[in-house]
Amino acid sequence: MDLIARAQAEVINRHDFFVEWFTGRATEADLQTSIRAFAPDMVMIEPDSNTISTDEIVGMITSARGKRPADFEIRVELIAARQISDDVALVIYDEHQVIDGQKSARRSSALFSADPDAPEGVVWRQLQETWITT
């Protein structure tokens, strides 16, 4: 599988994990696998422009287990992807969530680098999210 395909699979699979974890259906082993998908020096820029580190991201995910209702949804729509170098890819995607009937959406740009030890063979390096008004 090429780098772009691995990065796109990572986006989809990580969001599938989020649904399972946030609704309380995923296991601790699933969480540990998921954490390996984030580079130790990853940076996330949230839609409100707050910048957080890998440790903060992992803390947020860990503490959110079971905090969403069973019908919580995330739908990912891949928009574009391109290979930046031999081992770096950029994926742009829209994330649509439904929580208790309330819909939200954000467009994200995610930078990945190759890592054979990660679940999909790539790790998240940087993620920037922007709200989409619907």
CATH number for the domain that contains residue 75:
3.10.450.50
Total domains in the fold of the chain: 1
Write out the residue range of the structural domain in which residue 123 sits: 3-131
The single residue listed with the structure tokens 């707050």 is: 50
Element (H, E) at 20: helix 3-22
Q: What is the pLDDT of residues 22-61, one digit of tens each?
A: 999 999 999 999 999 999 999 999 999 999 999 999 999 9
The pTM (predicted TM-score) of the whole model is 0.95
Q: What is the pLDDT of residues 80-131, one digit of tens each?
A: 999 999 999 999 999 999 988 899 999 999 999 999 999 999 999 999 999 9
Instruction: Give the separation between CA 89 and CA 84, rounded to whole angstroms.
Output: 5
Element (H, E) at 103: strand 102-114
